Amino acid sequence: MCGITGYVGNRNAVETVINNLKRLEYRGYDSSGVACLTEKGLEVARAVGKIANLERVLDGHTPESHTAISHTRWATHGKPSERNAHPHRDSAGKIAVVHNGIIENYAELREELISEGVVFASETDTEVLPQLIARELTRLSTQISAESFAHAIRVALSLVRGSYALAILCADLPDTVFVARKDSPLVVGVGEGENFIASDISAVIRYTRNVLLLEDGEFGIITPDKVTLLKLDGQIVAREIFRVTWDDAAAEKGGYAHFMLKEIYENPRTVRETLRTRLLEDGTISLPGVPFTPAKWTSFKRIAIVGCGTAYHAGVVGKRFFERILRRPVTAEVASEFRYGDPILDAETLVILISQSGETADTLAAMREAKSKGATTLAVVNVVGSTLSRDADAVLLTQAGPEIGVASTKAYLAQLTALSLIGLYFAQVQGATLTADYAVALRELPSLLERCLQKEPEIIALAEALASSSCFFYLGRGYDFDTSLEAALKLKEISYIHAEAYPAGEMKHGPLALVEPGVSVIGFCTQIETEEKMISNLKEVKAREGTVVAVLREGAKNPDCADYTLFVPGTLDPLMPIVSMVSMQILAYHVARLRGCEIDQPRNLAKSVTVE
Ligand code: M6R
């Protein structure tokens, strides 16, 4: 959580870090701030709320500076307020720190420092860091140099427990930014006579495609002409430049009102790209990047699929599909629960970790748990170079491109596509012949998705009819229930309407009591086997005066219990979640728009949840 940028070079540093920070606003937007080195020393500006408020505070007067760091916050310790906004300083105001992560033992460190006479200015965990660095510098009582400052940072970091990505300035060390990373992402964009620091690549890509990815336990000293990476023990690290292949345009809105809408429209391309090079001409599947031998594949007696939020919902679809075609036990679990449930993991278990960002703290913790118990880990991840993509045993990169909207859309379709490929590949290894039908259906998906997008005007009319609903239920059976989970999440996170997914057959075991006028019920009836039963369940809702929306395959009969219908193109049952979801993303988007919600940055949320 939280976004960090930094800059050292000849440009206007404050303008540069703030512009780059806007690319990271999806990571948090409770408050923001900037620190820079000027002739006067260390200058700091901070504001509650979005980055636009920080710009208002600066009022067009950016200090003359060539070295700056900035931060956009998603509050963990201390409420969103100006005094809790980063950067945080030591008491003398000479050291500024921006931090993404959590210092778990901050309370005891704070007590210790207070007992030594330090006065704290904020309620945050972060503030202990500049204070600890300052204490160590005082203890050293030598002239401040890059080396002595680096030493003080390393001592401070040896005292803290928790996670951090840090960028640090010292008033006495112009043209230098210090960085460190443990369990929170940080990259350095390498330029000519200038260098950029950011929580992720999208914030530096407009300036450079040459990136250095910091690893856990690493520390860096960045000047305009040099990036020195070290281990915390001082040992120099040689890191190869990572060359980014996607371009800046991919991280821009491209004429759409919101990133979310742009990303919904990128669904067909995303699925096509995720299939490309994996679904071969002859209908077989190849998974380069997953270097397991056939013997290794068949040694997996169990599969656990783990993720958070949307990624978990993709895993739920994956579980149903894998069990059906592989006839092996599969679990789908929320990453934040996974390791506390003492999961049964061993060398015969494949753990598939799904994540758009590849930085979700709970998903990374699940990967570590799996590895420690001898399981094999396979990451389905979108962000190249992310921790998950680097640390898992094997990786299948989804090809969604940068996803900026906090509500995950195209990444979900990419995850479902990737899971289909993994399941089918495994089946292929087992000697099954079912891939031929799937190959045809998968290839057809992008054009089906284009047809879904063409229905936007119809879905806008539906959104207008439903936008004032007090509550939504999303019902389905089988894969349609799995779709309900993600459809409900999409609506609730951006429109703030309470939305709940239920297996349709469960309604009469309790939730039906909530149905009354003003409650909207979206019923997915796309599964051939359960269509009739679904319609019976929707009739039960209609009898209680709920508003019924039936989502049906094109060509299906219009059920008389439905107040509204939405027809989606049909495909094989297990692939229907991919097709159905596009309409649900569009519906959620327009309901939120009609209610005047902040679509790309919903309240209380952030794109990348890098704290547990
Ligand atoms: O980056 P990840 O895929 O690991 O993120 C997981 C969830 O935080 C994410 O899917 C979240 O639920 C989205 N806001 C859903 O739209």
Pocket test for ligand 1, best of 306, 308, 603, 610 (most atoms within 8 A of CB): 308
Q: What backbone phi and psi angles, to 5 degrees, belong to 352?
A: -100, 120
Nearest Cα residue to atom 4 of ligand 1: 355
Nearest Cα residue to atom 12 of ligand 1: 309
- Over range 164-184, report the average pLDDT: 95
- At 253-265, the pLDDT tens digits run 777 899 999 999 9
Which residues are known to be catalytic? 2, 607
Compute, in angstroms, the gap from residue 588 CA to the centroid of ligand 1.
16
CATH fold for domain 455-594: Rossmann fold (3.40.50)
19 pLDDT above the threshold of 80: yes
Q: Cβ(189)–Cβ(222) under 8 Å?
A: no
- Report domain extents, the chain: 3-252, 261-449, 455-594
- At 314-348, the pLDDT tens digits run 999 999 999 999 999 999 999 999 988 888 999 99
Name the more confident of 75 and 191. 191
* Residue 501's pLDDT band (cuts 50, 70, 90): very high
Q: Is 406 in the pocket of ligand 1 (CB under 6 A)?
A: yes
Of how many residues is the chain composed?
612
Compute, in angstroms, the gap from residue 311 CA to the centroid of ligand 1.
6
Joined together, the tokens standing for residue 199 give 């929580």
Q: Cβ(50)–Cβ(598) under 8 Å?
A: no
Q: Is 409 in the pocket of ligand 1 (CB under 6 A)?
A: no
Instruction: Give the CA distances from residue 415 to residues 19, 305, 310, 445, 588, in Å, rounded to whole numbers and listed in that order.
Output: 31, 12, 9, 14, 20
How many Cβ atoms from other residues are within 10 Å of residue 581's Cβ? 28
What is the pLDDT, as a whole number, of residue 200?
A: 87
CATH superfamily of 261-449: Glucose-6-phosphate isomerase like protein; domain 1 (3.40.50.10490)
The DSSP annotation for 502-519 comes to: EEGGGGGGTGGGG--TTE
User: Which atom of ligand 1 is nearest the CA belonging to 412?
Assistant: 10
What is the pLDDT, as a whole number, of residue 143?
A: 86
* Cα distance between residue 195 and residue 66, in whole Å: 11
Task: Give burial (CB, 10 Å; 0-12/13-18/19+) of 596.
Answer: exposed
Compute, in angstroms, the gap from residue 564 CA to the centroid of ligand 1.
30
Q: Is 417 in the pocket of ligand 1 (CB under 6 A)?
A: no
Q: Is 486 in the pocket of ligand 1 (CB under 6 A)?
A: no
* Cα distance between residue 389 and residue 359, in whole Å: 9
User: Which atom of ligand 1 is nearest the CA belonging to 383?
Assistant: 1
- Over range 432-460, report the average pLDDT: 93
Instruction: Give the CA distances from residue 12 to residues 9, 82, 208, 317, in Å, rounded to whole numbers and listed in that order.
Output: 8, 24, 17, 49
- Over range 583-597, report the average pLDDT: 97
- At 360-371, the pLDDT tens digits run 999 999 999 999
CATH for 3-252 (2.40.180.10, 3.60.20.10, 3.40.50.410, 3.90.1150.10): 3.60.20.10
If phi > 0 it is left, if psi is from -120 to 50 it is alpha, else beta; for residue 602 that is beta
User: Which atom of ligand 1 is nearest the CA belonging to 356?
Assistant: 3
Q: Is 335 in the pocket of ligand 1 (CB under 6 A)?
A: no
Compute, in angstroms, the gap from residue 408 CA to the centroid of ligand 1.
6
- At 77-91, the pLDDT tens digits run 788 889 999 999 999
Compute, in angstroms, the gap from residue 171 CA to the centroid of ligand 1.
38
The pTM of this model reads 0.80
Compute, in angstroms, the gap from residue 142 CA to the centroid of ligand 1.
47
DSSP code, position 60:
T
Who's near 348: CB < 8 A, 6+ residues apart?
Answer: 299, 300, 301, 302
Domains 3-252 and 261-449 share a fold: no
DSSP code, position 215:
-
Q: Is 311 in the pocket of ligand 1 (CB under 6 A)?
A: yes
- At 211-261, the pLDDT tens digits run 999 999 999 999 999 999 999 888 999 999 999 877 777 667 777 899 999
Joined together, the tokens standing for residue 96 give 């500024």
Q: Is 360 in the pocket of ligand 1 (CB under 6 A)?
A: yes
In the beta sheet, which residues pair with residue 41? 38
Based on C-alpha coordinates, what's the Rg of the chain? 25
Compute, in angstroms, the gap from residue 509 CA to the centroid of ligand 1.
30
What is the pLDDT, as a whole number, of residue 1?
A: 67
What is the pLDDT, as a whole number, of residue 342?
A: 86
* Residue 99's pLDDT band (cuts 50, 70, 90): very high
Amino acid at 604: N
Sign of CA dihedral 332, 334, 339, 341: negative
Tally of CA atoms within 13 A in the half-sphere of 506 that contains its CB: 12
Among candidate residues 453, 403, 417, the one with its CA nearest the CA of residue 587? 453
- At 449-475, the pLDDT tens digits run 999 999 999 999 999 999 999 999 999
User: Which atom of ligand 1 is nearest the CA belonging to 607?
Assistant: 14
Pocket test for ligand 1, best of 1, 260, 310 (most atoms within 8 A of CB): 310
Q: Is 398 in the pocket of ligand 1 (CB under 6 A)?
A: no
